[in-house]
Structure formats: C-alpha cells, structure tokens
A = this chain, B = another copy of it.
C-alpha cells in the first residue's frame, strides 16, 4: 500500500468511526481497529490525532465543495445557480455530513488544526456563494448593496436552520427549512417571492 493510499485508508477508517461515535469521540485505537491494523501505524502517517480528525473532516467538506463547484460551473443563469446552491448545501437525505460540521464547529475551540480546516472551508463556501451573487448583480438579475454581507447572511440562515433540523430532529420540518432559506435569499437579492423556490425532496 502506497503512502498516499494508506493515508486515504486511515481517513476512510476515521470517517467510518466518526459516523458512528462522533468526531470528538474518535480515538486512535478505534481507527486502527476499524482498519484492522495496529495503532502505531496511524502515528507513522500523522503527527497527531488532531491532524487525523482535521483530515477526515476536510475530506468530506472539500469533496462536497468541489462537487458543488462543478455543478455550478455548468449553470449560466444566476437565479438557477442560487437555487442549485440552496438545494446542494442544505442537508437532504443523509444528515451525516452536516453533523460533521456541527462536530467540527464545537471542537474547533479545542483543536487548532481542525479549526484551521473548518475556518478555511467555511470561508470557501461563502466565497463561492458570493461569486454567484456578484454574477447575478452584474447582469441585473439581483440587486444587492453588499454581496459579501449577503453571502454570509444567506449561508448563516441555512446553517442555523439546518442545525435545528439535524440537532433537534423534530423541531423543524425539512420542507420548512428549505422554503424559509429560499425566502431569506429572495429578500437578500431583491427577487420576487417564490423566485427561488426549491422543489421539496420526495
């Protein structure tokens, strides 16, 4: 197994454990057992457990981001682009990726490497949304004084609503979350009500 493959395998195993027990409760020995190897091997490829967890989180978050970037590149119409962004960012089906974000945000205070990764990726998501907004403002579809602020507000309202759905399960409806996030985005971009309605998941 090549060094690169081994690192990937470790990250895979760490994610499998984190999915079950949570990022904060994932230990070196858990990961080793999951891989079927010894625990010492992990420290041969990573300097600290903090790095393993950061790499695991980063993999999920970055994959999602890149996937969304590709998706958005194929869309020309700014309005359709924001709609796709909403549908893609909001947790649908499996909440697991969003639970990882929750874990990362909470652990960021205690794990510097994880904080750096989470911070960087969150910033990248905001930047992606901001670019989409600027494109729409440039061609006159949207009206918005401060695209940076608008991007952070839209992102935040989705994060806040999704958080309620994932953490508290029954407190909010999934369909409500999507509809409400769309409404917030419509206001930010001066679109008519319903202009960003996202089809509810079947």
Contacts and interface: CB of A to CB of B under 8 A. Distances in A.
A158 B157 CA distance: 8
A102 B110 contact: no
Given A122-B168, A168-B119, A110 B156 contact: no
Contacts of A118: 167-168
A161 interface: yes
A166 B106 CA distance: 9
B105 A163 contact: yes
A29 interface: no
Given A106-B103, A167-B105, A176 B156 contact: no
Main secondary structure of the interface of A (DSSP, over half): helix
Contacts of A187: 187-188
Contacts of A176: 149, 152
A88 interface: no
A24 interface: yes
A14 interface: no
A142 interface: no
The 6 closest A-B pairs by CB, nearest first: A156-B160, A106-B106, A159-B160, A119-B168, A160-B160, A108-B167
Interface of A: 21-22, 24-25, 99, 102-110, 115, 118-119, 122-123, 149, 152-153, 155-161, 163-164, 166-172, 176, 180, 183-184, 187-188
